[in-house]
Amino acid sequence: MKTREWGADDDLLKNTIADFEKQIIVSALKQTRGNQSKAARHLGTTKRILAYHRIRKYGIDLRQFN
């Protein structure tokens, strides 16, 4: 069986998914005026995952929602 090499197409997919996820998070934060608990509930996740993992991962500045 031949092993598949990761290539540029795979990076493009990962980056596209990450960009989409960031847009969804920013949209939820805008709708909730930066309220992370409400945004997390809206997205079907927990505040901990949203605040400590995703917001940090994407470098989202929460001050823009105040």
User: For every one of its 66 residues, what pLDDT tens digit does the chain have, with 9 covering 90 and above?
Assistant: 556 666 667 889 999 999 999 999 999 999 999 999 999 999 999 999 999 999 999 999 999 998
Which residue reads 């994407």 in tokens?
58
Is residue 34 situated within a structural domain?
yes
CA distance 54 to 36: 11
Radius of gyration of the chain (CA): 15
Containing domain of residue 62, as a range?
29-66
Residue with tokens 């989409």: 20
9 found inside a domain: no
Does residue 47 lie in a domain region?
Answer: yes
Residue 12 is encoded by which pair of tokens?
């493009």
Tell me, yes or no, whether 3 lies in a domain: no
Residue 15 is assigned to a structural domain of this protein: no
